[in-house]
Structures are given as C-alpha cells and as structure tokens.
C-alpha cells in the first residue's frame, strides 16, 4: 500500500439509503465527479441499516444522478459507470462499534493508500447522531487532525431543538471531532443567490451608504412551500417550522443582510461578523410571533389533507407549519427597522425572497407629477427563478410626464449562461477544500438558538395552539397584524 496522498479521498455517507443521501448527496458528488473536482483516487462508502449489496445500492442511487455536466449520452454513461464503481455499501446498526469496524475493514480494502483523507457525511436522524459519532471514534476512523491526511465530518441540521440541547451536541461531538473538523451544513448558504448577498452589498458602491435605518423602512424574508408534510411527519412534528427553517435558513439570511462588513472574506472574519449580528438580535417575544397549522384544502381546490390528517402526524399535534415573526435588531444600523420573517408549508406558492423596502422618497421636483410611484425596493429572489430586482420610479414613454414603478431586473436564467450548481455541490466541494465560510460555527449556532429558545419554551410549555389556515392559502391572516404593528406592509 502507498503512503498518504493529498489526491486521495474516502467519503463515508452514513444514512446512505435515506432520502437526503439519494436525492442530494450522491447527485452532488456525481456532479463534482463529472467536472473533475473530486480526487482521482476516490472511494465512496455508503452505510445504513437497510440490507443491500453493492449492486442494489448502486441501483438505488442511480435514479437521481443527472447528466447536467456531461450532456452527451455516451460520456455521461461512461462517467456514471466509473462513478458507481467507486461506490460500495455496508449495512449495520448505527450505534454498533462492530458494524463500524466492519465498515472500516471494507473501506480499507478499497482505499489505495494507508492514510487517505476521510470525509464523514452524517445524513442521519438526530436521534442516532451521537451514537454514530461515538461509534466512528471508537472504531478508530477519525484522525485527530485537519491537516494531512485529514478527517472532516459534515453534520446536517437539526443541531438540537433548543439552546441547551444544541450546546450538549456541540460538547459531545467535540469528544470525537475538533471544531475545525466539523462542517455544520445549512444548505441555504450554498444557494447561488445567497452566496451573492455579500457581493451585492460590499462589491457595489451604491448599497452600503443606504444600508441602514436612515434609508431602509423594513426587511422582509419570506419562505413558502406549496407542499404539505406528505408522510415526513416523523421528524417534522417534533420540530415544527420555527426549528425546521426559521432558526437556521431564514436567520442565516438575516445575518447576511444585516451584518457589518467583515474585515476580509476569510471564513473567520465572515463568521465573526455573523455571530456579532446574531448577538444583537433580540430574543423573539410571544407578541411578535404568529403560528399556524394548515388544514385540508377548501372545497373546489385540488384536494389536500390537513396537517393532522397525515398518517405520520398525531391527530392532536400542536406543531406549527407556518410562522411569522417580527425581529428587532438592537444595533445603531438597524435600531427600529422591522425584520419580518415568515415561513410556511402548504401555502399557495414555492418562493424564497428577501425584500429590502426603502423609505418613501422625500418630496422632490416630481412630487406633483401624475402617476403612482412606490418606494424603492430591492428584491432578492432566492428561488425559483433566481433574480435580483431593483424597483425604481421611471418616466412612462410618451408625450406626457407620467411616472410608474418598474424593475431593473437581473434574472439569472437570461443574464448568465453558466449552470447554477445545486447548493450541495458547492458545500461538499468546500468541505473537501477545507473552506469554512459557508458552514455554521458553534458560536453562530448558540446565538441563533438564543433568538428563538425563550419563545419556543413559552409555546411548548403553554401548549399554544397554532392558528388554522387552509392548505394552498397565504397563511393565517393574523400574520398581517405583525406588519401593521411594525408600520409596514407585507410585500
Ligand atoms: C429543509 C427543511 O432544511 O429545507 C425542509 O427541513 C424543507 O422542511 C427544505 O422542505 C427546503 O429546501 P429547498 O432547498 O427545497 O428550499
């Protein structure tokens, strides 16, 4: 066997038979493979409880692999065969050191070097998370280092369900992996438009001077999914929408919109500014939170069961599938500017958008001119149809002087010919390259939980019932009151 080589990599996907692995992780690995971005000497080990042979495992992951980067049929088929040949499977119980020793033996049969870089991807439910981390440590898989060769671990949310359980996970995981070896994924940070937020703010001169309470009236972040829980209640019902997407995906967007400019683009500088910002976000008060739970679709609409009618959800569940929150940021830049967040499943659309609403234009020479001019607005559409739009007042062409509001429109599909990578492609490549800026530090995690833990405790201990809203609607109307209180309107 050869000695260690920097161009060798073993990826161990724990939870390899699950949805996340099949739909996201393996397709992302294949996309990187097609682009020549994975080391030549590559071993991929899948590990899960289901009994499968290498062959049936390969079949199960093939379904979601796509030829986006190698559209010619022949070269795609060749790449796929070569990629699948690197993939092997071992089944076993998650907490069993013996099962992981077995995995270790199989892995060594395929690794060309005695000391190969190792990436562990934990795509597993939170209930078995620590058992697996311990078993990996006990089986001797993990190098205690992040240099050469390195061991790194990727962990998926949820990272706990409140501040103290999150602290406990951080502490327990630190017995197996050092903080610099841990990559906590929030896949929204890998999305193309979200990665563009810092560029938009700090590489364009026009925004920074306007980016404060003086010029901005409100910031709104909306996240909507048109689908319901569809049998995935096992996980969701214990967490609810605030823990599922708000404490992480939406709060990450808040950090990137509101943080101060970092000293550099280093991961340490960026993460430091995000933590600083999160520490200035006031803990959400119960008066600033509206919770909802979808009911069956109304008569006449395409049929859809209500949340509690789903067979994976208890009939008396109090889990929220919708939340609207009014956040307050206590720092000189944002004092008094409402940050309105809403997120919901079973809504009328699929959409993730950030809207920066500027204050009304002061009286100017056009104040008396006919036409309706709305305040400027910067709209950052994360998905679908990625775009950045700036709403301006414009003269309507013609002989009269009429004004109208129109969008300067940067729609990615027409503006860029490049393919937009899936978030997981970017994130996995960053793990391999040891680049941390798109991952959540333990400090960020703690600060993010501090924003929501007190209100979640109040909701849970008082068994607060979420407001019903019909599937396919815009959510409970009470959410409107938050905007009225904040003296703005939902956009
Ligand atoms: C996950 C949530 O983090 O993000 C899911 O757990 C949600 O509930 C998903 O559906 C949405 O991701 P995307 O990339 O499809 O917007």
320 vs 241: CA distance, rounded Å: 6
Which residues belong to CATH 3.40.50.720 in the chain? Answer: 8-156
| Closest ligand 1 atom number to CA of residue 232 | 8
| Closest ligand 1 atom number to CA of residue 423 | 14
The residue whose C-alpha atom lies closest to atom 6 belonging to ligand 1 is 244
Residue 58, phi then psi, degrees to nearest 5: -60, -40
| Closest ligand 1 atom number to CA of residue 244 | 6
Residue 249 annotated among the catalytic residues of the structure: yes
Q: Ligand 1: residues within 6 Å at CB?
A: 225, 244-245
Residue range 189-418+443-485, CATH number: 3.30.360.10
Whole-number Å distance, alpha carbon 241 to ligand 1 midpoint, is 10
Closest alpha carbon to 198 in 414, 18, 365, 354? 354
Closest alpha carbon to 34 in 81, 74, 69, 71? 69
Return the structure tokens found at 32: 């990187």
Q: Which residues of the chain have pLDDT under 70?
A: 1-6, 145-147, 372
Catalytic residue (one of 249, 328, 372, 463): 249
Sheet holding 87-91, edge to edge: 87-91, 41-48, 8-14, 117-122, 151-156, 182-185
Strands 216-224 and 351-358: antiparallel
pLDDT of 147: 66
Whole-number Å distance, alpha carbon 396 to ligand 1 midpoint, is 41
Whole-number Å distance, alpha carbon 186 to ligand 1 midpoint, is 10
pLDDT of 6: 62
For domain 8-156, give the CATH superfamily: NAD(P)-binding Rossmann-like Domain (3.40.50.720)
Distance from the Cα of residue 316 to its chain's centroid: 29
Going by C-beta distance under 8 Å and a sequence separation of 6 or more, which residues neighbour residue 157? 184, 185, 186, 248
340 vs 91: CA distance, rounded Å: 46
Which residues belong to CATH 3.30.360.10 in the chain? Answer: 189-418+443-485
pLDDT of 4: 43
Q: What percent of the chain has pLDDT over 90?
A: 81
Return the structure tokens found at 161: 């369900």
Whole-number Å distance, alpha carbon 210 to ligand 1 midpoint, is 32
pLDDT of 2: 39
Return the structure tokens found at 142: 């993990």
Q: Of the residues 155, 156, 187, which should be mutated to test ligand 1's pocket, given the most ligand atoms within 8 Å of the CB?
A: 187
Single pTM value for the model: 0.94
């Amino acid at each position: 066997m050869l000695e260690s080589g920097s161009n060798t990599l073993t990826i161990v996907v724990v939870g390899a038979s699950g949805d996340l692995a099949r739909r996201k992780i393996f397709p992302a690995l294949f996309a990187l493979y097609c682009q020549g971005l994975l080391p030549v000497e590559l071993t991929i080990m899948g590990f899960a409880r289901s009994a499968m042979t290498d062959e049936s495992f390969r079949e199960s992951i093939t379904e979601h692999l796509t030829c986006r980067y190698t559209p010619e049929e022949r070269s795609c088929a060749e790449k796929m065969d070569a990629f699948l040949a690197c993939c092997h499977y071992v089944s076993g119980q998650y907490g069993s050191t013996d099962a992981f020793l077995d995995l270790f033996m199989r892995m060594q049969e395929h690794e060309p070097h005695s000391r190969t870089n190792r990436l562990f991807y934990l795509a597993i439910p939170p209930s078995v998370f620590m058992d697996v981390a311990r078993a990996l440590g006990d089986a001797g898989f993990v190098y205690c280092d992040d240099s050469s060769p390195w061991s790194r671990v990727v962990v998926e949310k949820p990272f706990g369900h409140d501040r103290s359980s999150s602290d406990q996970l951080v502490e327990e995981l630190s017995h197996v992996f050092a903080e610099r070896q841990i990559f906590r994924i929030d896949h929204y940070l890998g999305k193309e438009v979200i990665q563009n937020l810092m560029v938009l703010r700090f590489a364009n001169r026009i925004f920074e001077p306007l980016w404060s309470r003086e010029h901005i009236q409100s910031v709104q972040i909306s996240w909507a999914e048109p689908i319901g829980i569809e049998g995935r209640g096992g996980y969701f019902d214990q967490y609810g929408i605030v823990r599922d997407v708000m404490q992480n995906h939406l709060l990450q967007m808040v950090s990137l919109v509101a943080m101060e400019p970092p000293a550099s683009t280093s991961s340490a500088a960026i993460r430091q500014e995000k933590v600083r910002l999160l520490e200035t976000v006031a803990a959400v008060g119960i008066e600033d939170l509206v919770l909802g739970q979808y009911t069956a679709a109304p008569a006449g609409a395409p049929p859809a069961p209500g949340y509690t009618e789903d067979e994976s959800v208890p009939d008396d569940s109090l889990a929220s599938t919708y939340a609207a929150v009014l956040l307050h940021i206590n720092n000189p830049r944002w004092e008094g500017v409402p940050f309105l967040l809403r997120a919901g499943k079973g809504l009328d659309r699929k959409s993730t958008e950030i809207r920066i609403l500027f204050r009304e234009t002061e009286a100017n020479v056009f104040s008396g001119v006919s036409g309706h001019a709305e305040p400027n607005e910067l709209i950052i559409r994360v998905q679908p149809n990625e775009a950045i739009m700036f709403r301006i007042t414009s003269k309507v062409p013609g002989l009269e002087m009429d004004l109208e509001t129109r969008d300067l429109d940067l729609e990615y599909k027409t503006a860029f010919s490049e393919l937009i990578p899936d978030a997981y492609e970017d994130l996995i490549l960053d793990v391999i390259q040891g680049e941390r800026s798109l991952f959540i530090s333990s400090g960020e995690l703690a600060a993010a939980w501090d924003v929501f833990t007190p209100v979640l405790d109040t909701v849970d201990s008082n068994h607060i019932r979420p407001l019903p809203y019909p599937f396919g609607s815009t959510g409970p109307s009470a959410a409107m009151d938050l905007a009225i209180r904040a003296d703005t309107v939902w956009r």
